[in-house]
Amino acid sequence: MSYEQQLDATFQALADPTRRAILARLATGEASVSELAEPFAMSQPAISKHLKVLERAGLIVRGRDAQRRPARIQAKPLQEANMWIERYRQLWEANYARLDGLLAELQAGQGNRGKD
């Protein structure tokens, strides 16, 4: 998968609230399908479907153990998606820091006019 396709798959996988909750659970440690199905009150096939999407997006890996096949979180794609948003956030942070300065200047100007 190209970098672009990887990011697309990551964002698509993260768009679903159940999958985000599964990732949050896996962030605390690996879990099998049955262990995941219980707290989410979902069937094992439904959980398996979500795990497949997460696996394709490279967000998790599944263990080799044929019985349990525990799911484990993979940090790298998440970090890349976050970095993308983080850069965008920094862009607005720089803009709004400048806007703070401009607003202070305008408010000071209004104050002066008020005293005149």
Footprint on this chain of other proteins (rule: CB under 8 A) = 7-8, 11-12, 15, 84-85, 87-104, 106-107
DSSP notation for 50-99:
HHHHHHHTTSEEE-S-TTT--EEE-HHHHHHHHHHHHHHHHHHHHHHHHH
Q: How far is the CB of 48 from other proteins (least distance, A)?
A: 23
Please say which residue, 11 or 40, places its beta carbon nearer to other proteins: 11
Both tokens assigned to 50:
């979500």
Structural contact between residues 60 and 54, judged by C-beta atoms closer than 8 angstroms = yes
Q: How far is the CB of 107 from other proteins (least distance, A)?
A: 6
Please say which residue, 75 or 88, places its beta carbon nearer to other proteins: 88
Please say which residue, 18 or 107, places its beta carbon nearer to other proteins: 107
